[in-house]
Amino acid sequence: MDGLDGAIFRLRAALRRVAHGRNVFVLLAALVLIPVWQGRFVVEGAQIPETHLNYAGTGIHDEPRFFFFLNRLGLYPLKTTLPITTGTTAEARRLLKQGHALLVDEYVTFRSGDRGRTYLYYADAWLEGRVVYPRLIWANALGFWLALSLLFTAFWWIRMPLVGVVAVLLLGSNPFQLYTTYLQENVFGWPITAALLLLALHLPWMVERPKQTRLTWLLPIAAALLLATIRTIRSEASIMALSAIVVYLTLGRATWKKRLVLALMFVVSFSLATRAYTAFFLRKFDKAHAVMVANGGTPYTGPLPVYHEVWHPLFCGLGDFDTKYGYTWDDRVAYTYALPILRAEHGLKYTWDPSKYTFEESYDGLGKYPIFFSEAPHYHDVIRDKVVGDIRRDPLWYLDILRKRARRVLTETTPLALEGFGKRVHFSSEMLGIGCVPLALFLVLTRRWAQLKMLVFTLPLSAPAFLVYSDKGMTYYGTYHLFGAAIFATLLVGGLRRGRVRGPGGRLVHE
């Protein structure tokens, strides 16, 4: 038995070194296996579950049609309504002369901002050569692969590769993220990708005693640039700024002055980067618009939003649980409420068909650029006053909605799953989210601050479901329960940083 005990001890010690060390072979193996594993989902006919979807948003509309002129001539936003016969520069120049068919917008494509998502099609153009009707799959996939790889690398760097393995397996098998990344041809997966990239960037500074180097001062700048960039693809990603700020304000072995400076650097850098992107897209528009008009195209005289509006989604979102004040997740309900007020108090002259989402009038008078309610003067003021007024008059009503949303966030989560390994493994339970509450309390009581930060870092992904709307798959953005499962699993395997193990014969061996 002594020989067997010794073998078991040596095996456990070896596993512990792997689980708490920086084994280069483990890192290299992971960086090879992650894209190989995820690459199986790119293959035509890959088995991807369609059980957890986002039905609440629109996302991509006609962006693929705007990529052709961007790729061939650097003009954006610009599209043609004529057929594109070949993906050549000569074809782009030929179509450019057909001014009557040129547009700088198409219905809702850019009316809610997020103008950076068209640039994602470059990945498909480079890898597949598609410039006419390109696809998003490669941009989505490469972004997600990079996020998973960097996340594991970060866990490996802080000597927690076991947590990294479990987290990457669960995140890389998340049915919501798999569907939005590989099948949906949309940008709904980018908030999660952004959260993982941001977490990977911050993990080395989330441990209890992080090394204070010059890189610390570059961290908030790099994080701000990353988040500002992804914000041009999907606005919801910007909510992850909260997690970055929390990391800076709780940085170990740092004075409060340094923490505040880091947080301020992030806020300023994010603001400057956002302004820079706004200026960039407006300059691109001015150039494309001038070229279109010079070739006989119809001018566009409407607004140029770069980011998504706020009050309209908040109005519609109250429809997830409201039964008193007429809120519904339908744009036309908000329009029906606002129209008589806009006419009576602000002299609105537009006409509207209640079955449509735009006014009958258009900016050009030809119907090419319809006028949206959100663009009517004072529309957002009317909607804001309604929402804020109802909350002030009936705070218990609003608190009850928040309570029900919180319950959804905790109980309507994606399952724990393993995908891409042959047999599909799924485990669903309302306790997956609820169980993170006592886990967080345990981490606080045992002063495992690094693990606690990991658990709550991606919580802002659930903020839209809590603050805006919680139905139609919005709670599936949450990934906190996957990190909770990863942390809980590693605690079961042997605990984190206990500092000692038992050797053969029951001897205590200090590490």
Give the model confidence (pLDDT) of 432-441 as tens digits.
999 999 999 9
Quick check: 503 and 496 in contact, CB under 8 A? no
By the 8 A CB rule, do 212 and 171 touch? no
CA distances 209 to 219, 443, 455, 483, 498, Å, are 16, 17, 18, 21, 16
pLDDT tens string 312-338: 999 999 999 999 999 999 999 999 999
The CA distance from 56 to 104, in Å, is 26
The kind and range of the H/E element at 261 are helix 256-294
**Helix %, strand %, coil % for the chain, to 5?**
60, 5, 35
Nearest-10 crossing angle of helices 161-171, 480-493: 140
Give 114's pLDDT tier (boundaries 50, 70, 90): confident
What are the tens digits of pLDDT across the range 194-232? 999 999 999 999 998 898 888 899 999 999 999 999 999
Name residue, tokens 């987290």.
Answer: 167
What is d(CA 60, CA 188) in angstroms, rounded to the nearest whole number? 9
Checking if the pLDDT of 77 tops 70, the result is: yes
pLDDT for the residue 510: 33
pLDDT given at position 507: 39
* Range of lowest pLDDT (26-30, 83-87, 210-214, 478-482): 210-214
Which residue, among 41, 230, 60, has the nearest Cα to 133 in the 3D structure? Answer: 60
Question: Is omega for the bond preceding 210 within 30 degrees of 0, making it cis?
Answer: no
Q: Within 13 Å and on the Cβ side, how many CA atoms surround 42?
A: 18
Q: Distances from the Cα of 19 to the Cαs of 12, 78, 284, in angstroms?
A: 10, 52, 50
pLDDT computed for residue 208 by the predictor: 86
CB 289 within 8 A of CB 300: yes
Q: What is the mean pLDDT of the chain?
A: 91
Residue 16 is inside which H or E element, if any? Answer: helix 2-20
**Cα 244–Cα 222–Cα 180 angle in degrees, nearest 5:** 70
**Cβ neighbourhood burial of 138 (10 Å; 0-12, 13-18, 19+):** buried
Residue 46 pLDDT class (50, 70, 90 cuts) = confident
- Euclidean distance between CA atoms 415 and 49, whole angstroms: 11
Give CA–CA dist 128/190, Å, rounded.
21
pTM > 0.75? yes
CB atoms inside a 10 Å sphere around CB 172? 24
Rg (CA), the chain: 26
- What is each CA distance from 298 to 111, 305, 364, in whole angstroms? 17, 19, 7
SS3 letters across 112-148: CCCHHHHHHHHHHHHHHCCCCCCCCHHHHHHHHHHHH
Give the position of tokens 């809590």: 466
User: How many Å apart are CA 231 and CA 213, to the nearest integer?
Assistant: 29
Selected residue with higher pLDDT from 424 and 218: 218
Q: What is the pLDDT of residue 499?
A: 46
DSSP one-letter code for 337: H
Rounded-to-integer distance, Cα 191 and Cα 189, Å: 6
d(CA 95, CA 153): 47
- The CA-CA-CA angle for residues 413, 415, 421, to 5°, reads 150
Q: What is the pLDDT of residue 212?
A: 82
Distance CA 130, CA 68 (A): 9
Contact 366, 297 (CB under 8 A): no
* 103 pLDDT more than 60: yes
| Chain centre to alpha carbon of residue 204 | 22
Which one, of 98, 104, 73, 61, lies nearest residue 83 by Cα? 98
Tokens of 484: 């909770």
Cα dihedral 268/271/274/279 (nearest 10)? -100
| CB 183, CB 135: distance < 8 Å | no
Round to whole Å and give the CA distance between 96 and 73.
Answer: 10
Q: Which DSSP letter does residue 35 get?
A: H
